[in-house]
Structure 1
């Protein structure tokens, strides 16, 4: 099948699945442009214009055109045979409870094969069917056994494959008590792959405006939050650590009521793990920490964390994008604004050098403004700091 030029991402050259528009007016697939920016690029790949605004706006019109085009393509003779096969497979899935590993592997494979398959499967109702299989009272114990956990892994992979081509309404199933209980059991006792998939599901829920109530309920559930924190704290498993950071940060940023989230220990956990995260997730974690520290309970937790200042100072000039630097400085302002001892610790950790380097860089105006505010806060300090050029002799930092 030949994909029209306008339906291809200029970066990956694949069919656009989540088209977003940059400030330059160019459209890219979200995953591709996020990867481009995570490498430190600050330009639009097509026009090479410098980006002063990194916001991404969903291109709903193009998404609808692509969906219509795919549906038209499905009407060709080859599509008829495929649809017949998918319909038969769905009937087997509906009648075969619980499903076999072979059946679920076939469904997962088809969902990963092509956009045509995914659109057909979404239209046929595969997504709600898979969710009902996964998140029921029956599934809780069945999928925890070693021999059946592979079935759950395949089913969740299929769900995640279908989500970009689907409306997310079927996920409202998780608001039911039995489904939420099944999710908790799988998050607590499932394999690491199952736990990572649930983290990815949390990111999808957090990103949907239509699932705000579900997102709120998850954000108020300490058991789920503790389960996600537990996944994130697997520092020896990079995939789990990054999946947990992304899930917790996405949830935190989507909530307006965050007291329960803070009580669950998300701030301390993010501070502990952020240095080990992939660059693309560091900025997200810093944004979540700053967001949570805007209320008094969050400020208190951040100020009392013994690692916070050291970690944040190191990240001021190390983050892959300027928004991350801005968030790191914002967190330091929260910690230092009313504490002379915190200011002293920040200075001893080298914040002055970091801020001065940042001000000489091409970071955005918001980051520079915050950097100047923090420098002003620290200007009354006359301290001895190691020379930034490697001399063993200290140097005085004078302030007028």
Structure 2
């Protein structure tokens, strides 16, 4: 048994109620209370006929070895010793695959003991961090994902354990082959996994918030699953809050990716617009020094919202946003350019909003569309650029002075 150290916390249920020491040979009385064998034997040998903890009169003085608790104590003892060794040597002990299988079996039996689950998950996390192969092993290990989801839905009251469970889920969900079964287990069963995820988003650490958001994408596989996620009360609004301009770039990008993944259904788009997502995206696009990835994702989400009438109205109403979109054309990346042109095409060409057309012209959009016509862009972008030039409020002659006459041939009309 490992020696007690000031920095090692002993779970209370590992201590004998009589001696208060860690039990070496736990046994249970007929009352259900467990003691260390030596301590309870001395109590009974002294002529006592009651349970020391409850003071109930014993109907029988026989006791039964508590094998499960003994195994847990041994696991804890090994883990505690590993921590001591790690502090001394700087190395973390990683369990083997066989040991992980045993740990998972014990998890299935002792799900209600959060102290025990935290201990076991700490070991499993150490295993998962070790290699990609280990994460694949966990994702395919019979019963592991379901056991983790069961615990996720039941551990809302223990934020520390919840964060640990989310961390492991974030590592393995993307590797689960049967996405349909995964989706049904998380979203369509009796498990309330979304409440647990929302709880972490609202009260967890920054890392846990990022990991929680990422656990939603692997199960957003069809329109039904996207709606189930989006219609969880408070979840969609929390995701919009997380893309706020004062947030950490990592949580913003994770939230944008998640919103993109679930935003295709019309009802979700409408709800996002009602939650004032468009102004938040404008803040991101006008924010200086935004990363290429963040800009691409913000434009992609805007492109999705521009595919419905309510989204186009919001975008057309926001002159600063339209000018910011024009500025991103040819400035960030080919992907960003494609998203930006698609948004402008939706509001100016499809929706034929005059105010939007004027804002694009003021933002020097005509020149950029001309440049795109000469560039090595995709056929779709070239066609949309041509469409935008055709409906431009500026005639062809007024937009050519800055160009060499040799470029006149690029005009699509």
Tell me if the contact between 2:315 and 2:322 (Cα under 8 Å) persists in the aligned partners: no
Q: Give the Cα separation in 1 of the matches to 2:130 and 2:164.
A: 14
- 1:240-278 deviations in Å (ceiling 9; x for gaps): 11111111112114x354322332333332333245553
**1:305 and 2:318 correspond:** yes
Calculate the TM-score normalised by the size of structure 2. 0.64
Query: Which of structures 1 and 2 has the larger relative contact order (alpha carbons within 8 angstroms, sep 6+)?
Result: 1
Contact 2:325 / 2:340 at 8 angstroms: preserved in 1? yes
| Contact 2:285/2:325 (<8 A) preserved | no
What does residue range 49-68 of structure 1 map to in structure 2 within 5 Å? none
Following superposition, the deviation at residue 191 of structure 1 comes to 2.0
1:215–1:315 distance in 2 versus 1, CA, 3 Å? same
1:333 aligns with 2:345: yes
Larger Rg, first or second structure (1 or 2): 2
Q: CA deviation at 1:115?
A: 4.0
CA distance change for structure 1 residues 285 and 234 in 2, over 3 Å: closer, same or farther?
closer
Map Cα deviations across residues 319-378 of structure 1 (whole Å, 9 max, x no partner): 3224x3232112113333433333222212121222222222211111011011111111
The count of corresponding residues between Structure 1 and Structure 2 is 299
Unaligned runs of 5+ residues in structure 2 are 1-94, 404-410
Render the CA deviation track for 1:171-216: whole Å, top value 9, x for unaligned.
432344733333322222222222211211122223x34xx42222
CA distance 1:318–1:153, shift in 2 (3 Å): farther
Deviation per CA, 1:135-168, whole angstroms, max 9, x where unpaired? 23xx22321xxxx2xx433322211221233133
1:123 is aligned to: 141
Contact 2:245 2:284 in 1 (8 A): no
> How well do the aligned residues superpose, as a CA RMSD in angstroms?
3.2
* 2:261 matches 1:250: yes
- In structure 1, the residue matched to 2:248 is 237
Counterpart of 2:171? Answer: 161
Q: CA separation of 1:222/1:318 partners in 2, compared to 1, >3 Å: closer, same or farther?
A: farther
Partner of 1:333: helix, strand, or coil?
A: helix
How does 1:148-227 map onto structure 2 within 5 Å?
148=160, 151-166=161-176, 167-168=178-179, 169-172=181-184, 173-175=186-188, 176=190, 178-206=192-220, 208-209=221-222, 212-221=223-232, 223-227=234-238
Residues 244 and 252, structure 2, Cα contact 8 Å, conserved in 1? yes
Q: Distance in 2 between matches of 1:164 and 1:181?
A: 20
Question: 1 CA distance for matches of 2:339 and 2:97?
Answer: 49
- Output the CA distance in 2 between the equivalents of 1:222 and 1:388: 54
Once the 2 structures are TM-superposed, how far is the Cα of residue 102 of structure 1 from its aligned partner?
A: 4.4
- List structure 1 segments (4+ residues) > 6 angstroms apart after TM superposition: 382-385
1:264 partnered with 2:275: yes
The correspondence of residues 64-103 of structure 1 with structure 2, limited to 5 A, is 82-94=96-108, 95=110, 97-99=113-115, 101-103=118-120
Question: CA separation of 1:201/1:300 partners in 2, compared to 1, >3 Å: closer, same or farther?
Answer: same
Say whether the 8 Å CA contact 1:316–1:325 is kept in structure 2.
yes
Q: Contact 2:357/2:393 (CA < 8 Å) preserved in 1?
A: no
Match of 1:366 in 2: 380
Equivalent-residue separation in structure 2 for 1:348 and 1:383 (angstroms): 16
